Structure 1
Amino acid sequence: MSITEVFGEFRTGKSQLSMTASVICQLPKDQGGAEGKVAYIDTEGTFRPERIKQISERFGVDGDAACENIIYGRALNSEHQMELLNGLCQNFATGEYRLLVVDSIMACFRVDFCGRGELSERQQKLGQMLAKLSHMAEEFNVAVFLTNQVQSDPGASALFASADGRKPVGGHVLAHASATRILLRKGRGEERVAKLQDSPDCPEREATYIISNGLVSFLPVVDALLTG
């Protein structure tokens, strides 16, 4: 019933986390799952059914069945992205769905609205979409998982940007809509670092993870972030 946002630069595992969460959602509740189906909106063309099958093998789930439990939509622009969201309401009304993934939330907006002259309109449209996502999360009792890109901001203070001077795209509109925000960044070698930056019930903390063979050790990362 809330929005979780994961942001970071390329090759930090955002799409891998999205697909891993899509498989975990289908697991029995005693295995950390939600026993539900998944709606997946892809704005960058990074969704891969073959990757879903690989992740499914790791969790002992039938790959074909896992793919069948994921309803997929490829958003071509920001308007199409909203149309896909509106179309999902009928699916969610069945009560079978427990997760909505948008990977990534800002990709289409960055293309459709360029420059400062269109910033106000972009933020207004983004705010409408986030309000829709929040309403769907509460009305249909689903978890909303968003990935987001970052942009360079050398002049930003350390309070609003990560250590390397990058900040999430979307500004305050997206920041206020996300109940939980997690930063993913590159560490030493193949290591990646996940930092819980904002949460209504958890303090800030970090966890290190490694993407091996394209798979992310997702559950250990979440456990470390939420329990310390």
Structure 2
Amino acid sequence: MAKDKSVKKLEDLPGIGETSAEKLKAAGIDTLEKVATSQPHDLSEKSGISVEAAKKAIQAAQEATTIEFETGTNIAEKRQALGKISTNSKDLDELIGGGIEINAITEVYGKFASGKTQLAFQLAVNAQLPKDKGGVDGKVLFIDTEGTFRPERIEEIAKAKGIDPKTALENIMVVRATSSEKQMLTIERADSLIREKGIKLIIIDSLTALFRAEFLGRGALGERQQKLNSHMHKLQQLADKYDVAVYVTNQVMDNPGILFGDPTTPIGGNIIAHAATLRLYIRKSKEDKRIIRLVDSPNMPDGECIIRVTSAGIKD
């Protein structure tokens, strides 16, 4: 079906004037794609037009939108060109398929002081490196929800990687989010910052802390999960649209239903589990060692490796 190039916005659809368009936008139907997938009676009710007019608008919206297809070969070539961000550990990179993926959300969960934030610092520095040195030649958006961002750690890690510490810090845009609304709003408005600054890595440390603190009790669980779902969806949209990597840390709790084995369970339930492309569980071992287990990946088998958290950053 040929695309109708004359229809570019809601107001261009037959029977949809400015008033009807505003009603649709207020109801959350703000794109041609959403009109194209609407039911006539639902569209009629929300826009104030007749059912017959709604049918014509839906048909016009369907004709104005197209579905683009790519071969698996094309996608493979693009993914290869985008590169990955090294974790600074060869063992960990190998475990997850070469490093932190672009166009994907990587979640790392674990208990307090397990090393989630230290890995975030390492990635914030490594992302600035050229591709042939394990980076993606980009800047970083770091959303700090727990007051854990430490410039001195960035400086230490940057020195170890041969990067000027001041330059490394200048390339990291830090937002101190003190509420879930500010955390979500930062991501909702991130498009212009990503374009202007050349952001290639988004870090949220931690993803669930504010939601967990603000939405207490079973009565608030539904709203919390709905907001987390929307938040993760926007993160994936940004990752896909701008070829960005997303790294999020997650808090945990002990699941009383697990009587044998490790009861540690990440916050967020199935919403986070389904939205994250790759999930890692990190836990403390002896001295500076940490054990990382690959819990879920679309292309790599489950496995474990050991890393070290040192003053110079992540090491094997």
**How much does 1:43 deviate?**
0.3
Correspondence for 2:106: 4
The partner residue of 1:154 within 238, 246, 256 is: 256
Structure having the larger proportion of residues in strand: 1
- The within-5 A match list for 1:1-228 is 1-94=103-196, 96-156=198-258, 163-213=261-311, 215-217=313-315, 220=316
Kindly indicate whether structure 1 or structure 2 has the higher relative contact order, using CA contacts under 8 Å at least 6 residues apart: 1
CA distance in 2, matches of 1:186, 1:196: 15
Task: Please state how far the C-alpha of 1:88 moved relative to its aligned partner.
Answer: 1.5
CA RMSD, Structure 1 to Structure 2 (Å): 1.4
Question: In structure 1, what is the Cα distance between the partners aligned to 2:195 and 2:242?
Answer: 7
Q: Is contact 2:142–2:202 with CA below 8 Å preserved after alignment?
A: yes
Q: TM-score, normalised by structure 2?
A: 0.65
**Code of the aligned partner of 2:186:** L
Partners in 2 of 1:18 and 1:91 — Cα distance? 20
Q: TM-score, normalised by structure 1?
A: 0.90
In 2, the alpha carbon distance for the partners of 1:150 and 1:199 equals 19
Q: Structure 1, residues 88-123: CA drift from partner, whole Å, max 9, x if none?
A: 210112471110000000000011100111000100
Mapped to 1, the partners of 2:304 and 2:238 lie a distance apart of: 30
Q: Deviation of residue 209 (structure 1)? A: 1.5
How big is each residue's C-alpha offset from its partner over 1:149-168, in whole Å with a ceiling of 9 and x where there is no partner?
1101131377xxxx421100
- Structure 1: how far apart are the matches of 2:268 and 2:146? 17
Tell me how far 1:3 sits from its aligned partner.
0.4
Contact 1:183 1:195 in 2 (8 A): yes
Once the two structures are aligned, what percentage of the paired residues are identical? 43
Deviation at 1:189, TM superposition (A): 4.0
Matched position secondary structure for 1:181: strand
Is 2:157–2:312's contact at 8 Å kept on the other side of the alignment? Answer: no
Give the conservation status (yes or no) of the 8 Å contact 2:122–2:314.
yes
Deviation sequence 1:11-43 (CA, Å, 0-9, x none): 111111101100000001110110000000000
Residues of 2 paired with 1:157 and 1:138: CA distance? Answer: 40
* 8 Å CA contact 1:103, 1:146 repeated in 2: yes
Cα contact 2:124–2:172 (8 A) shared by 1: yes
Letter in 2 for 1:174: I
Higher gyration radius (CA): 2
User: 2:189 aligns to what SS in structure 1?
Assistant: helix
CA distance in 1, matches of 2:280, 2:135: 20
| Runs of 5+ unmatched residues, structure 2 | 1-102
Gaps of 5+ in 1: 221-228
CA distance in 1, matches of 2:162, 2:312: 17
